[in-house]
Every structure is written in structure tokens, then in C-alpha cells.
């Protein structure tokens, strides 16, 4: 099965790359349809920014932003995930038509999330997480990032399964950029099978700071997130070659095209070494 594209739809005023571009219901609906038409198999709708330093918002405000968008896009046949750390928002979003819950805290931020995910009986994306946005950079402390992320994700799986979530419903995300500023991210991509176990994997590298640092080290201008799209597509290409379940990206068309090229190569006999 080819790697899927999850298109990012931030219905927020303050996300790091595109905050404010789709923060009205009509604009968000139009963007969600555009992402679908550009090749996104899943549109990931989020109403709370998780960029470094972002402030938390209340669930009621989050739901006011995302539920009308999800309801409208679901009516158009778009497959949707809800990007939230609030159990009440996860429930409201699934009731409105979302098929997947994408929790960047892996269920740690809200004690009701694991039981809610079990009740909803939908796919649940558990990301590796150590702290909220205001504190997460300070938590970039690892002796062996691959082993530690693997153990901490395994603990989240155990907790979710213990709450009643089916193991095959759980997707793992290494949390690139979350408590991982620059160099901590690369081994998690290169050695993803070591922490993934038997679970499907989502990689969310799109336009993040560690890509900017790599561009800058090569002499390019990686300071502006919009300059990181080619680097994002490079990560998508590697993920597609490796058989990762999905990539979460801002530019669905670029990743769709990269995955199509990889599909042709693998059909012709190419094998990753």
C-alpha cells in the first residue's frame, strides 16, 4: 500500500507556518476541499496551535473553530482527523464526522482521552510528547533518542490498550519538533522501525525547524517555513520508499507527486537499501 498524504488544515490564528490563513469557517472548508483535490487522503483539522510557545485554549473555543468545518467537509466525503488534546473535542469532532483522533500528547494532556478514544472506537494517533508548547524545547534531553522515544511510546500504547483502545487502531508518531529541537529528529526518521513495533506510523516533518537548520547548514535560507517545502518533500520521498503509513504535510500536491514517483520506481523493481 502506498504512503498516504495527510493534509494539514489549521483553523487557527497562530500556527507556525500558516496561522490565520484558514481561520474562518468558509476559508477552512475551501482549503479542506483543496487539500482533498490535491491528493490528501486525510485532512487533519486542528483548532489549537501546538507551535513552540503557543498558549492553550479552552475546548469550547476549539470546538467552535473545528466542528462546523468537520461537519461540512464530512458532508463532502472528505476523510477527516481531528488534531486535539481535549477529549471533549475529540468526541464532538467524531460525532460531526471525523474518522481519526490525532492527539499530539498521546493521551497525556487529558486524563479522559484514553477512555474517550476507546468509546469512539476510531483510529487514534498517539504522538510522542513530553511537555506543552511553552515548555517542550526544555525537554529535549536524550541519551538515546530512539530508545527513549520507543519506550515512552510503548508506555502510551499500554495505557491506551488498558483503557480499551484496540491495538490495531493505534498509529504512532515520533513527535518531530516536539521536545526535539534539531538533531534529535533525524534518528527518529532514519531508524523508525526500531521505535514503531508493529504499529502504523505517521511522520509529521512538514516545514519544521529541524528542516530549516539542515537547509541553513547547506547554505540555504531555512529561516522562513515557506522555504522548507522541498526539504519536506525529500522526507516524504524517504518515507514512501520505506513504507511509512502516512505523512502529515502542508503541501499535499508535492507529497502526492513524490509518492507517485516512488510507486513507479518500486513497480519497476527498485528496493530501498
Residue of 51, 208, 209, 256 marked catalytic: 208
What is the full DSSP assignment across 114-151?
HHHHHHHTSEEEEE---S-TTTGGGG---SSHHHHHHH
CB 9 within 8 A of CB 249: no
Q: Look at strands 4-10 and 100-103 and give their pairing.
A: unpaired
248 classed as catalytic: yes
53: helix, coil or strand? coil
Residue of 51, 130, 180, 248 marked catalytic: 248
208 classed as catalytic: yes
Alpha-carbon gap, residue 107 to 61, rounded angstroms: 20
Residue keyed to cell 522562513: 224
- Inter-CA distances, 214 with 82, 84, 115, 181, 236, Å: 30, 29, 40, 12, 16
Active-site annotation, residues: 208, 248
Amino acid at each position: 500500500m502506498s504512503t498516504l498524504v495527510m493534509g494539514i488544515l489549521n483553523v487557527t490564528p497562530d500556527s507556525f507556518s500558516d496561522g490565520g490563513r484558514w481561520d474562518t469557517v468558509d476559508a477552512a472548508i475551501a482549503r479542506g476541499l483543496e487539500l482533498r483535490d490535491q491528493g490528501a487522503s486525510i485532512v487533519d483539522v486542528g483548532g489549537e496551535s501546538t507551535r513552540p510557545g503557543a498558549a492553550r485554549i479552552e475546548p469550547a473555543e476549539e470546538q467552535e473553530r473545528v466542528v462546523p468545518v468537520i461537519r461540512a467537509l464530512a458532508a463532502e466525503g472528505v476523510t477527516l482527523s481531528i488534531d486535539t488534546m481535549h477529549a471533549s473535542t475529540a468526541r464532538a469532532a467524531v460525532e460531526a464526522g471525523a474518522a481519526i483522533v490525532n492527539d499530539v500528547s498521546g493521551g497525556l494532556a487529558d486524563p479522559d482521552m484514553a477512555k474517550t478514544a476507546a468509546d469512539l472506537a476510531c483510529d487514534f494517533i498517539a504522538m510522542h510528547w513530553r511537555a506543552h508548547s511553552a515548555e517542550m524545547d526544555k525537554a529535549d534531553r536524550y541519551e538515546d533518542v530512539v530508545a527513549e522515544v520507543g519506550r515512552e511510546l510503548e508506555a502510551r500504547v499500554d495505557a491506551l490498550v488498558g483503557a480499551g483502545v484496540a491495538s490495531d487502531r493505534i498509529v504512532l508518531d515520533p513527535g518531530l519538533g516536539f521536545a526535539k529541537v534539531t538533531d534529535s529528529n533525524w534518528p527518529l526518521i532514519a531508524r523508525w522501525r526500531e521505535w514503531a513495533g508493529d504499529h502504523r506510523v505517521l511522520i509529521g516533518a512538514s516545514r519544521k525547524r529541524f528542516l530549516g537548520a539542515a537547509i541553513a547548514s547547506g547554505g540555504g535560507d531555512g529561516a522562513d517555513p515557506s522555504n522548507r517545502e522541498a526539504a519536506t518533500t525529500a522526507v516524504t520521498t524517504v518515507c514512501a520508499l520505506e513504507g511509512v503509513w502516512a505523512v502529515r504535510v502542508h503541501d499535499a500536491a508535492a507529497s502526492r507527486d513524490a509518492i507517485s514517483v516512488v510507486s513507479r520506481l518500486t513497480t519497476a523493481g527498485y528496493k530501498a537499501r
